[in-house]
Amino acid sequence: MSQKSVQLAYQIRRHALEMTNRGGTSHIGSIMSMADLVAVLYADVLHYDPQNPKMPERDRVLLSKGHAGAGIYAALAESGFFPVEELLTHCQNGSRLSGHVSHKGVPGVELSTGSLGHGLAVAAGMALGGKKDREHWRVYCILGDGECDEGAVWEAALQAHQYGLDNLIAVVDHNRMQSLDFCENTLALEPFTDKWAAFGWNVMRVDGHSVEALQNAFAWAKANRGTGKPTVIIAETTKGKGVSFMENDILWHYRTPQGEEYEAALKELEAQRP
């Protein structure tokens, strides 16, 4: 297990809690569920240079579930793209760190997102360009499971298979909750694995909170280059992971951690410090 990944996942959760508290913003549950997979990406998987964010040979990361942008900002800051202290300006007047992730002036962010269903299409376009130019970099796209209600996701999935985009890796944060209810009560996704496979993708379903399982999944995804098929990792996660009273509670999609709730959440997270 990579201790660096474990440490970064803790830092993402810790920063995000403080950022949403200070900025009066929401989506902390969505950030907590993806923290481990984002940590493994930035600590163990991606090829990048924080001192040269536009390095041509860098891997590209698109957060299609843009409402969880605080988690990406935290990962970027801890990875050296900009000062960690800037995270405290999140959603403050004049800050470049907006609630939904923005690429405007933020090094390391490839695309502004938030209107769900767009990220995979842009990722596929990037991957197609890279493939035509015979580039070696990869494109990673992080989606929400509720986001997969969007028809645009499946149009992009069809296109990715049509063009043999084996340099494209999608990761679905499958926390089983969206907006106001469980996914299955909104629009059933299952059989989720079979759907992606039927669209011509390599598919692996893993524990999205196991660093080892995620590392193995990303290694497998990289090895799929040359198969002529895009790859998706379905990461089984828990919304609000890391704070007991937030876990699997739909309130924490929009609720802002304040007062006693913030203090209690902070205490729980600090008790888990690696």
Tokens of 25: 């913003």
Q: How far apart are CA 61 and CA 168, in angstroms?
A: 10
Dihedral in degrees, nearest 10, Cα atoms 51, 88, 31, 5 = 50
Query: Average pLDDT of 36-55?
Result: 98
Q: Is the peptide bond before 50 cis (omega within 30 degrees of 0)?
A: no
Query: Average pLDDT of 210-234?
Result: 98
> What are the pLDDT digits (tens) for 91-115?
999 999 998 999 999 999 999 998 9
> What are the pLDDT digits (tens) for 237-256?
999 999 999 999 999 999 99
Q: Nearest to residue 22, comparing CAs of 106, 76, 93, 126?
A: 93
For residue 271, pLDDT over 90 is answered with yes
Tokens of 203: 């598919």
Q: How far apart are CA 54 and CA 18, in angstroms?
A: 29
Question: How much is the mean pLDDT over the chain?
Answer: 97
Element containing residue 198 per DSSP (H, E): helix 192-198
Tokens of 1: 């297990």
Q: CB–CB of 273/254 below 8 Å?
A: no
Residue entry with tokens 């470049």: 96
> What are the pLDDT digits (tens) for 126-182?
999 999 999 999 999 999 999 999 999 999 999 999 999 999 999 999 999 999 999
Give residue 79's pLDDT band: very low, low, confident or very high (50, 70, 90). very high
Q: CB–CB of 84/78 below 8 Å?
A: yes
Q: Is the pTM here over 0.95, yes or no? A: yes
Give residue 1's pLDDT band: very low, low, confident or very high (50, 70, 90). low
